[in-house]
Structure formats: structure tokens, C-alpha cells
Amino acid sequence: MMIVVVSAGHSSKEEGAISGELHENLLNMHLRDQVVKQLNALGVATIIPPDTLSLRETIAFIKRHTYDTAIEIHYNAGQVSAHGVEAFHKEGDPWGKRLCENLCGNLSSLLGQRSRGAKSEIHSAHRRLGFVHENPHCVLIEAAFVTNPEDVGLVLRDDDGKLWATIVAQTIADHHSGTKVASYQANKCGRVDPGSEG
């Protein structure tokens, strides 16, 4: 059985970016819970690092577990006009790069998010991201800009983020199985069904 670690960026003790009433850590936890539900619905087992852990403690927690893929969910911050999804992988990791490309591509084509692309950690603000750097098969996704309410609304508009989470879960499952990611079609029930390639 496939096992995926799903981590919410920051922690219950560290809020991350704040914009008005939007607190990044709470948004991260919400999307994390949605992704876990959708992975479980696909028959994928999940491991959730406790929300009280610091980044260093989360990395150590992951090292103690056996897993296939790990993803940490964050929101970006910037000017109010900034928008879109981007995903980071370890420098020189083709496996992580492909997963990040598929995540951004599917969220862009299905949800209408602007894809800011798959990026090496060296192109992040910190140039080194502990979550993706310290353990294998780890990626970090910036779901949207917390500083742009419309961007956050796009992620959460369909059943409080269920469609976003479904796309992410299906993309992870397909990447692990080696399935070529097809063009998915989101139906009105919020499910994502394989469509024909083309």
C-alpha cells in the first residue's frame, strides 16, 4: 500500500503569513485535512505529523517513518496582486521535479489557477528548504497567496477546497504508480475522473 506523509506548513505555535483574518497555518491545516481525506478515499495510507512540531521536529518525525511520498502544504505571501500555485523540489531531484510539474499543471488546467511552475529549492526565498532537502521524495506546495483573498477563494471555492485536494491527491497517486498523468476532468460532484489524453 502506498503511504504518503501530508504535513501542514508552520505549526499550531507558528502562524506563518497573516493577511487580515487569514492565518497561513490554519489554512495549511485545513488543506492538509482535505488532501488526507482524498488520499484515503483512493486507498492511500497517510501519516500526519503533529501540528505542534517545529520544522526541525517534523523532519525528524518523517525520518522515523517509512513512506513513499511526502508533501508539505503552505500558502505564499506577496503583493495583493500576486497569485498562483508553485511547488518546490530538492535541487537535482528529477522525481520531485516531475511531481511538482504535474501538481502545478493539473491545478492550473482543472482549477484555473495560474501555474508559477515547478522550482528547485534554490529558487525559493530561503534557497534551501528543510522539508524537501533533508528527506527523499519530499515536495512543498504553495497553494495560493494568503495576501490575495481572490486567490485563496479560488482554492477553497469548490466544497471548501475539496476539488483542489482531490486534484492533488490523484496527482500524487498517479505519480507514485508511474501512470502518465492524463488530462483530468472535474465533474460537478467534485470528483476528478481520468479523461482522454490529447
Q: Average pLDDT over the chain, rounded to whole?
A: 89
Q: What is the pLDDT of residue 190?
A: 40
Provide the residue range defining the domain that includes 42: 3-193
Q: If residue 143 lies in a helix (H) or strand (E), which one and from where to where?
A: strand 138-145
Q: Which pLDDT tens digit goes with each residue over 9-18?
A: 998 888 889 9
Domain count of the fold of the chain: 1
Beta-carbon contacts of 157 under 8 Å, excluding residues fewer than 6 positions away, are: none
Determine the length of the chain.
Answer: 198
From 19-28, 37-46, 123-132, 181-190, the region with the lowest mean pLDDT: 181-190
Using alpha carbons only, what angle is made at residue 66 by residues 61 and 72, rounded to the nearest 5 degrees? 55
Give domain status of residue 198, yes or no.
no
Q: Strands 85-89 and 22-23, how do they pair? A: unpaired
CATH number for the domain harbouring residue 135: 3.40.630.40
In a domain, 74, yes or no: yes
Taking only the tens place, the pLDDT of each residue in 27-37 is 999 999 999 99
The residue behind cell 525559493 is 124
